[in-house]
Structure formats: C-alpha cells, structure tokens
Amino acid sequence: MREIVLDTETTGFKPEEGHRLVEIGCIELVNHLATGERFHVYLNPERDMPPEAFAVHGLSAEFLADKPLFNDVAADFVAFIGDSPLVIHNAAFDMHFLNWELKIAGYPVMPKDRAIDTLLMARQKFPGSPATLDALCKRFGVDNSNRTLHGALLDAQLLAEVYLELLGGRQTGLSFAGGPAAKSGPSGPVRIDRPFREARVFAVSDDEAAAHAEMLKKIKNPLWAVE
C-alpha cells in the first residue's frame, strides 16, 4: 500500500486573498514505512513575504526569487503523488492551497476524502490533548530537535513517524517468527541465551496412587484404567 506524507509552507492562510505556496515536501510510504523516495521543491510565490509567515518558516522573498513557479513543477508533483492517499496534518489547509494551485495550472482538483488527516486522528485518539506536530512528536518520543522553523520536507519526515505511531506504533501486530527465545530489538530479533536446566521428575507417592485408583472406581469405563 503506497501513501504520500505531505506538507506545505505558504505566504499566509488563504489563497483567495492572494497567498501562495512556497514549499512542498513529500515522503513516500509503502506499507506505512518510508522508502526513501521523496519530492521537495521551493516555489516562487511572485509576491512579497509577510513578516508573520517569514517568522514561521524563514523563507524570504529574496531566497525564493529564483525558484520555479508552481506551473513549472506541477507535472512532476502530480506524477509523484499519483493516485495515492495523502497523509497530511490539518489536511483542509494544505488541500485548499494545493487545489487552488492545481486549478490555476489547469489540473483537476483532488477530492477532500483523498487526504488522511493526522490532526483528526490525534484528536480522536487523545481527546482534549494538544495535537500539534510538536506535541505529538513529544508524546511519541520523535526527535524534532532540528525543527527550529517549519519546513515542508522536515515536517513531512516527522509526520511520517508520528503517523506510524498513531496507527499503533512500529510493531502493529504480534510476530512469533523469532521463537520463544527471541525478542524484538532495535535491529530486529535479538537472541536471549538462557542456562540449560535438566527436566525435573515428580514421582507419585503411594497415597496419591491409591487415591487415584479409588477415584477411577467411581467412573464408568474410565479411560485412565490400567488393565
């Protein structure tokens, strides 16, 4: 099963007010595990960068001035995501911007139900608890120490780990492939050596044998009777 973990950065909150995408980051998952395949691009928004947005992601208008337009990368983006489900934190926000840009570029918009919203997953699993990406990283022990600013690719990488934990963690089921003397470790099955013990024999006493014989007399055609 192929999924795409996706994040974006923008110049603001609403594309209908003239705000644009400035970064897209995608991580490919197969069977919920990252394959190493990714799509990442910075975009020229063809406008200024509001100070509030710059404070979030640190992408200046000067830095983005020589970057491609969305139209220039739309075909590659559409080809990379294919028809796979999109795993997004606060999916309504990113999907609104992506569909706005896709429509301008002449591509079909994506249905809302294509997105798996990890924000909704977290709120359902932990009602009343903080559900930001940073809060979830802290809850699950995901190292986000490099996240001094928001970044689409970094956030997609963190979200891929958080998504796995929201699904039930790295070991979502039981496996006995390692046998009774093995357990799961950071590098796979780990062998645990235990000292060998001779089998112990418990002899039946005469009183126990007599009591057993008396019990058998009370049973019609007992299977345990010895001829």
CA neighbor of 153 nearest in space, from 25, 28, 6: 25
Ramachandran bin of 44, using left for φ above 0, alpha for ψ from -120 to 50, beta for the remaining angles = beta
Contact 44, 68 (CB under 8 A): yes
Give CA–CA dist 38/149, Å, rounded. Answer: 20
Residue length of the chain: 227
Beta bridge partners of 116: 87
Identified catalytic residue from 32, 89, 150, 212:
150
Is there a catalytic annotation at residue 96? no
How many whole angstroms from its chain centre is CA 25? 15
CA neighbor of 9 nearest in space, from 38, 49, 68, 66: 49
Catalytic site positions: 150
